[in-house]
Amino acid sequence: MQYIDSFIKYLKFERRNSEHTIVAYECDLGQFEQYLSEQGIESWAEVTAKTIRSWVVQFLEDGLSARSVNRKIASLKTFFKFLLREGVLEINPTEKVVSPKMPKRLPVFVKEVEMDFLLDQVDFGQDYSGVRDKLIIDVFYFTGMRLSELVNLKISQIDFGVGVLKILGKRNKERIVPITDVLKNSLIDYFSVRSEAFPDCVSDFVFLTNKGVKVYHKLVYRVVNKYLKMVSTVTKKSPHVIRHSFATALLNRGADLNAIKELLGHSNLSATEVYTHNSFEQLNSVYNQAHPRA
């Protein structure tokens, strides 16, 4: 059916969504279009709330998580709003579709003592890959940035004079994160080693592979997974876990929730408030261990 390609262009050029988000939309809409074809539905005007619910039920019966199902529903809602805006439809069938309730999940994080041991005691090596891998962990933990933000980080986004990083987040929204002296020294050391390893490199991207080209998501993920395994038993060992660790450490040390929201690049405070649960858990644990009548 028509309009999916136009919608993807809208996401890319008007909403400026990330490549990862656009791929997710394409996948969800492709699956829905296939389902409609199987049901003999040939136009978007024929789609009803009942059609969408039956599609959703299939995923739930197959054991897909509520989070994943909700993402697919969100994809449809955005798409049908686009069709309304374009005058293709007059009624939005997704308005009567209720998303499945999601169980509350606390963010997984690595303890401060474990991150301290990793950054202070673990030997990453002095060759290019070792210095780079150490800086990857440093940047994640000192800035709380996302995986895609680190992969696409450019030298031009670093201001050593002012001492800040300009991070381009979702929808190209820019936020400013301070560079501590420790991170500044790590960056300086890295660029020194990088210039020796790749003397002719002119790439503006900060992180490079051992072949001198921009790093990719899987490489960074493997680096983080490898080193978190050395110090932590958390079930997930991903860059996002270090982002959670960054936020939890700040909150535990008394940082203002709104300040953490800005550092993380969250659009809503509700997304940041989830970290207060982790902070309360730690406070409750300390209370139970320390109070004489606990």
For the annotated catalytic residues, the residue numbers are 146, 170, 240, 243, 266, 275
Q: What's the token pair of residue 231?
A: 């110090």
Q: What's the token pair of residue 85?
A: 């805006």
Q: What's the token pair of residue 73?
A: 């529903």
DSSP annotation of 64 reads -
Q: Are strands 164-168 and 158-159 parallel, antiparallel or unpaired?
A: antiparallel
Q: Quote the CA–CA distance of 97 and 92 in Å, as a whole number.
A: 10
CB 227 within 8 A of CB 137: yes
Q: How far is residue 146 CA from its own chain's centroid?
A: 5
Q: Quote the CA–CA distance of 264 and 250 in Å, as a whole number.
A: 11
Place of tokens 């606390």: 106
Q: Strand runs (DSSP E) across the chain, as ranges?
A: 158-159, 164-168, 174-178
Q: Quote the CA–CA distance of 274 and 252 in Å, as a whole number.
A: 13
Q: How far is residue 161 CA from its own chain's centroid?
A: 28
Place of tokens 């049908």: 80
DSSP annotation of 146 reads -
The SS3 of residue 256 is: coil
For the chain, give percent helix, strand, coil, nearest 5: 60, 5, 35
DSSP annotation of 164 reads E
Run of H or E residues at 102: none
